[in-house]
């Protein structure tokens, strides 16, 4: 008798995959997202995803329960459980995802680049600069 339960394989929507790549470039976000960029033998970057609870990933649609997408409303609940400068990075992610600064501001998720620059370390600033240099948003 086989008593093991097979766990269904999940996938991330394309925009959520890009968001994970962005998060991996920031040590603050990489820890929360549970991701790391690793290099294979050819030097090509690969995203390693660690097992972790991610309540802010929700099904894209009820008909596709195994395809997950980033849910900004749920993610925003994590804004108050971190340091001030980690919060800047989380707000940045919300603003990149929403692509609507007016909505983000109405929700209290506004991102102040100048305030963030005054305190973020070089790794986090490099992550912000990366998305500004190479906006690969679908």
Q: Which residue has the higher pLDDT, 4 or 81?
A: 81
**What's the pLDDT tens digit per position in 103-122?**
888 999 989 999 999 999 99
Please state, in angstroms and rounded to a whole number, the distance separating the CA atoms of residues 28 and 34: 10
Q: CA–CA separation, 127 vs 103, rounded Å?
A: 23
Q: Where are the domains of the chain?
A: 11-133
Higher pLDDT, 135 or 43: 43
Pure H helices in the chain? 14-24, 27-33, 72-75, 84-98, 101-107, 113-117, 122-133
pLDDT at 2 exceeding the cut of 70: no
Question: What is the distance between the alpha carbons of residues 90 and 106, in angstroms, rounded to a whole number?
Answer: 16
Give pTM, 2 decimals. 0.85
Question: Rounded mean pLDDT of 120-134?
Answer: 90
Q: Collapsing DSSP states into helix, strand and coil, what is residue 48?
A: strand
Give per-residue pLDDT as tens, 11-67: 999 989 989 999 999 999 999 999 999 999 999 999 999 999 999 999 999 999 999
């Amino acid at each position: 008798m086989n008593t093991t339960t097979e766990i269904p394989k999940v996938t991330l929507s394309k925009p959520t995959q890009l968001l994970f790549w962005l998060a991996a470039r920031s040590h603050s976000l990489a820890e929360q997202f549970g991701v790391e960029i690793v290099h294979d033998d050819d030097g090509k970057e690969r995203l390693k995803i660690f097992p972790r609870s991610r309540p802010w990933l929700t099904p894209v649609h009820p008909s596709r329960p195994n395809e997950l997408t980033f849910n900004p409303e749920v993610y925003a609940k994590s804004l108050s459980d971190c340091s001030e400068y980690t919060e800047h990075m989380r707000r940045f992610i919300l603003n990149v995802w929403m692509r609507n600064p007016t909505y983000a501001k109405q929700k209290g998720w506004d991102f102040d680049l100048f305030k963030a620059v005054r305190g973020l370390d070089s790794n986090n600033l490099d992550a912000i600069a990366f998305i500004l240099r190479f906006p690969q948003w679908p």
